[in-house]
Structure 1
Amino acid sequence: MTARPDTPLYAAQRPSTGSRYTRTAMALHWLIALGIIVNVVLALSADSLPDDWVRPVINTHKSIGITVLGLAILRVLWRFSHRPPALPESIPKWERASAHVAHGLLYLLIFALPLSGWLHDSAWKDALSHPMQLFGLVSWPRIGFIMDQPPAFKEYLHNLFGSLHTWFGYALYVLLALHIGGALKHEWIDRHSVIRRMLP
């Protein structure tokens, strides 16, 4: 027997507006996710590319990182003014607490990765002779006080921020795997979807 649209059963099965993120939050979430995935692919493939491809790939990686940083700022500002939907009550408290911690760490890394990359690039010894451009269209400034450091100290900073950028990337891989794995567990095993909250 199929429930009609005006029956209580149909209404119970249909997600309510308050159980979903706003369309703006959805758009920002998926744009940030897409940017991160593309940047991971670019970073992992750079060493295996022909020499004349490496510089354009690195420049694209930088441009996407700055774009992700801008989108992340918008996402946080939007979240402050638009309360996200609560997780279903059927999810155990420890899982809800873990999800909040994981989300907090994800936000932290989404900011830390592009910022550490920007610092790393600003300490590059050839930064002055290779101006940074956003997707080859718009000039993008480097961080002045980093560029103005003595060459030896700048080289140290370049290596330091490069290492931080790499380790932040590894941490992000782990958190993304947990994030995706948790969402799929709720979808396929627990049978209370949380993915639909972030889908139109």
Structure 2
Amino acid sequence: MSTATIAEDALKYTHVAMLLHWTIALLILANIALGLAASLLPTSVLPDTSVRFVIDTHKSIGITVLGLAIVRVLWRLTHRPPSLPGVFAGWEKTAAHVAHIALYVLIFALPLSGWAHDSAWNAAATHPMHLFGLVPWPRMGFLMHLDPALKEQLHTQLGTLHTWFGYALYVVLALHILGALKHQWIDRHSVLGRMLP
């Protein structure tokens, strides 16, 4: 292996980090589409099973993202990511770090708030949750056992919180993508190559 190849590899994320990054990104995009579809589906026309399939798939992907996010954080703690190119201005490095922290927070906040929202659903006890229709998944017990009136109130509030986390993710994700494209195509810094095999 040449010295140039070793130096180039040092500027890249590990293959595991790349796999986790792109898998989580694709699952989040799929879940955005499912979340929007669930809110736009004409429930008066479609059978309940079709609507439930979309919602249950959305929940399953959310829990999967949560699991992968935990793995990703553990991987990052044990594998130092490559430094940002030295040509980045100080404010650009700060903005990139803030955006990454916001993405991590939202990648956890969205599935956790969705899980809590689902757990506070009054019909949760009669509608058990299964990941992708196969693996039984528990609700948050402390929410399941609250008074029905309080659960209904929390269900609404947690749904609103989940929605706002979704809007925040749209903004941060757009800034993350636009920032990467700006550095790649306008500034001519090879940043996309850091996350590509």
Both proteins in one fold, TM over 0.5: yes
The correspondence for 2:179, drawn from 177, 182, 186, is 182
Determine the structure 2 residue equivalent to 1:173: 170
| Paired letter, 1:118 | W
Shift of 1:51: 2.3
In the alignment, structure 1 residue 110 sits paired with structure 2 residue 102? no
Q: TM-score, normalised by structure 2?
A: 0.94
In the alignment, structure 1 residue 195 sits paired with structure 2 residue 192? yes
CA distance in 1, matches of 2:41, 2:129: 23
Correspondence 1:1-16 to 2 at 5 A: 11=4, 16=8
Cα deviation per residue 1:167-190 (whole Å; 9 max; x = unaligned)? 000000000000000000001000
In the alignment, structure 1 residue 48 sits paired with structure 2 residue 41? yes
CA distance in 1, matches of 2:159, 2:190: 38
| Paired letter, 1:143 | M
Determine the structure 1 residue equivalent to 2:30: 38
Structure 2 portions without partners, runs of 5+: none
In the alignment, structure 1 residue 135 sits paired with structure 2 residue 109? no
In the alignment, structure 1 residue 158 sits paired with structure 2 residue 149? no
Q: Match of 1:17, SS?
A: helix
Shift of 1:15: 6.2
| Paired letter, 1:31 | T
The root-mean-square deviation of aligned C-alpha atoms, in Å, is 1.7
CA distance in 1, matches of 2:80, 2:57: 34
The correspondence for 1:27, drawn from 8, 11, 19, is 19
Structure 1 portions without partners, runs of 5+: none
Q: Match of 1:34, SS?
A: helix
The correspondence for 2:81, drawn from 75, 84, 89, is 84
CA distance in 2, matches of 1:39, 1:125: 23
In the alignment, structure 1 residue 57 sits paired with structure 2 residue 54? yes
Determine the structure 2 residue equivalent to 1:124: 121
Q: Match of 2:124, SS?
A: coil
Shift of 1:48: 2.7
Q: TM-score, normalised by structure 1?
A: 0.92
Q: Which runs of 4+ in 1 moved over 4 A?
A: none
Cα deviation per residue 1:30-50 (whole Å; 9 max; x = unaligned)? 110011000000111122355
In the alignment, structure 1 residue 147 sits paired with structure 2 residue 139? no
| Paired letter, 1:108 | V
| Paired letter, 1:44 | L
The correspondence for 2:96, drawn from 84, 99, 113, is 99
